[in-house]
Amino acid sequence: MKKPTLNIAVTGLNAIDSPGPGVSVIRALREAASFNTRIIGLSYESLEPGIYMHDLVDRTYSIPYPTAGIDLLFERLQYIQEKEKLDVIIPNFDAELYPFIKLEHNLKTMGIHMFLPTLHQFEERNKVNLNDFGKKYGIKVPKSKVIYDLSTVHSLPSEFSFPMIVKGKFYDASIAYSIEQVKSYFNKISAKWGLPVIIQEFIHGTEFNVTGLGDGTGKTIAAVPMRKQYITDKGKAWGGISISDEKMLDMTRKFLRNTKWRGGFELELMKNKDGELYLLEINPRLPAWIYLAVGVGQNIPEVLVNLAMGHTVKPFTEYAVGKMFVRYSWDMIVDREEFEQISMYGEL
């Protein structure tokens, strides 16, 4: 049977030291067995490396930041749709998910499919609501508190012991060993990501991640756990290895069954010295290390596209354990004209 060719737009082309997942997602889509692809990159900045990776990305369009509002994004996507006849969009940033979820219906009427969590799922898993999430679904989470202003910082030592984690609502986390550090991180993080800031109990242990895919009915379509082996100063995995931990897989299946999660996700987990697992965060999108899942036999982006297109998919039941990913950086040589094209005209 002839494979269809799908026009798929992907964001998160910033393959930098704190990488977006876009380039890994595209590599996965290029290896899809069930369809061929024409890849349209959607970028926010002119120096996102994926824009210039012409063997992976056929054409790139800049799109407005989420802060510019949903209307502007929709207008831009209408323009792109006229030119590219997109079948699917895969948004890869937490911060852009809200506008894309809001636009899901409108985009569908234009022929663009997505496979995203519902707004309720998206809000419920927000780290601001992690305590309630843990209680509701019977999943162990570290104690956390949401703070909106510096005046409440002084009461923290009565509720948390040092060190404690200071987290931004979208990204960033720092370990604070004193009230002075909490204040300093509060100011830094709130200036960058806005309010509130989250204070979280520090769990001593080893960090693990699980990526996977839920079909929206509670079924686990894919799940691959990974241990970070090499971590950058920004806390990002620069190397990792697939593992086989039944407890982690059980927690993942429980998360999917109870929330009926729809779409890709990444669970950030901490295992303490007694072997207890804590759920630190749920990222409502595929992670930057998603290509490891492809490498171990679960092409999650491919299946996500098939679900978006309304096809029936078969859940993955196995993966290779002990496979590693080792990330690297690579200098591309780029003509100034290309930079000019994307910077001045928003297309390349």
Partner 1 sequence: MKLKKNVAVSESGLLFNPVTGESFSVNPIGVEILNFLREEKTDEQISEAILGKYNAEKQAFENDYQDFIGVLSHNNLIESHEETNA
Helix 300-308 to helix 22-30 angle (10° resolution) is 80
State in angstroms the smallest separation of the CB of 234 from partner 1: 21
Residues 181-220 touching partner 1, rule: CB under 8 A, are 206, 208
- Residue 205 CB, nearest approach to partner 1 (Å): 11
Q: How far is the CB of 239 from partner 1 (least distance, A)?
A: 11
Give least dist CB 237 to partner 1, A. 11
How far, in Å, CA of 126 to CA of 133, rounded?
Answer: 9
Closest CA to 245 of 221, 280, 290, 276: 276
Q: How many helices (H) and strands (E) does the chain have?
A: 10, 14
Return the structure tokens found at 207: 């960090």
Residue placing its CB nearer to partner 1 in the complex, 155 or 206? 206
Going by C-alpha positions, the residue among 200, 198, 220 that lies closest to residue 211 is: 220
Cβ–Cβ < 8 Å for 8, 29: yes
Report in angstroms the alpha-carbon separations of 54 from 28, 31, 46, 51.
16, 16, 15, 7
On the 0-12 / 13-18 / 19+ scale of CB atoms within 10 A, 249 is middle
Stretch that binds partner 1, among 109-117, 174-182, 224-232, 281-289 (CB under 8 A): 224-232
How far apart (Å, rounded) are the C-alpha atoms in residues 130 and 132? Answer: 6
Residue from 152, 155, 229, 272 in contact with partner 1 (CB under 8 A): 229
Question: Taking CB under 8 A as the criterion, which residues in 234-263 touch partner 1?
Answer: 240-245
Within a 10 A sphere around the Cβ of 113, how many other Cβ atoms? 18
Binding mask 318-347 for partner 1 (x = CB under 8 A): ---xx-------------------------
Nearer to partner 1, 240 or 263 (CB): 240
Q: Is 272 in the site for partner 1 (CB under 8 A)?
A: no
Would you say 247 or 311 has its CB closer to partner 1? 247
CB of 242 to partner 1, least distance (A): 8
Give the count of residues interacting with partner 1 (CB under 8 A): 13
To partner 1, the closest distance from the beta carbon of 233 in angstroms equals 21
Q: Would you tell me which residues interact with partner 1 (CB under 8 A)? A: 206, 208, 226-227, 229, 240-245, 321-322
